[in-house]
Amino acid sequence: MTHDTHPGSSGPKDFTLDSASTRAASVHTTGRFGNHDLVLRPPQLLDGPGWRHTCLREADRLKPSIGAADVDWEKSVSLTSWADKVTAQRAAARAGRLVPLVLANGGGDVLGEISFAVDPRTGVAELSIWLSANTSAPARAWAWRTALTRVVGLPAAVRGVVAPVAVTNTGPGRMLTELGFTRRATTRQLRPYDGVPTDHDIWWLPRTTPAEAAPDLARQVTGRSWATTLRSCALMMLPCARVAVRRGRRVLRRSTTPSAQLPHAHDHGVRLPHDGFGTVTMDDGSPAGVADIRHDHGTSTLEVWTDLKNLDGAQRVAQTLLDVADTTGARRLAWSVRPGSVEQVAAAAVGFAPEGQTSPPVWACDVPHELWGRAQNQAHPIPTVTNPAKPQPKEP
């Protein structure tokens, strides 16, 4: 297996959107629905009051999906939260890791958020969306299709789009099906929904599937009135100042405090790389393969991809991953494996379960991969496999 690497670097090159793509993603697209003009564009700090108003008005609908169980809803949709979010989104967009969008009308009301987080390992964009109940069905369909068309048509070609949806949230399924998505996997306890860790269906739209947008009406959406603009500026001054102070403190802490590293020194005779791509080594220093380990703090998932040489090394890696997940407090383990590989055998032996298909890393050619997952709230005895047979491909 070959790995696309930076010249002089020790690991493969991550996928990010290039500058042409970030510019293309930030355009304003307008549409007219009845007597109303809507615009799909990047978020602005002055959207804070309109965003907060919508979130408070539709708390019952939105809180299960985007709320946090340990944070009061009033606080989670504060103007300071909005300023913090927009600042972080702009930084991620400049780095080519995110396409953030809002749906707004001319009066400054925010009618929804649509974002695409780019997975640097697989080159796949993850869709996150909510739309106001006050948005008409044609406008909702237009927003979905326009956003998808924009992302899959970027110069830096994403491989496709995934949309995780809680299994108890049946609303988005119909629209996803109409847009050409198919259910690809069901992940165990991926993230909380309505305050409870919940299984999520992973819907998949490959780049080769066109997501046609409704014809764009080239219109200039009337902007906020001067009174609304001045009011928004006044309301956002203090929240923006708070965010600036917080971020300054974070920079100071990072410059004076050593960064924490994932603990990988365990008693299983194998050493994994720290967070990121690297070589897997046995205690005697011999290489056992390569691994890419990343902690997704948003879902509290330890995400793993490996290319290991033999079953003994894979078993040791599996046992070590359980320890690492426990030590770091990860709620879930997700291992991307090739069907019939030694990793699949080792994962099954320590309680991982197949969850469906997943995208391979950008440097793993286009070899099919499966996602094997494990929730860390289950007991995990470590069985010993003796005289293992050669792993067989999974039956269709």
Query: Tens digit of pLDDT for each residue in 219-232?
Result: 455 556 666 667 76
Spell 308-320 as b/e; 16+ CB within 10 A means b: beebbbbbbbbbb
Distance separating alpha carbons of residues 313 and 290, to the nearest angstrom: 11
Beta bridge partners of 363: none
Residue 253: per-residue pLDDT: 55
Residue 378: per-residue pLDDT: 58
Among candidates 286, 258, 292, which has minimal Cα distance to 272? 292
Is residue 75 a contact partner of residue 55, using CB atoms and an 8 Å limit? Answer: no
pLDDT digits (tens, 9 = 90+) for 345-366: 999 999 999 999 999 998 887 7
In sequence order, which ranges of 2-136 are alpha helices (DSSP H)? 19-25, 48-57, 59-66, 73-76, 79-94
Is residue 127 a contact partner of residue 145, using CB atoms and an 8 Å limit? Answer: no
| Top-confidence residue, 195 or 133 | 133
Say whether pLDDT at 258 is over 60: no
Query: In whole numbers, what is the pLDDT of the chain averaged over residues?
Result: 83
pTM of the model: 0.84
Beta bridge partners of 186: 201
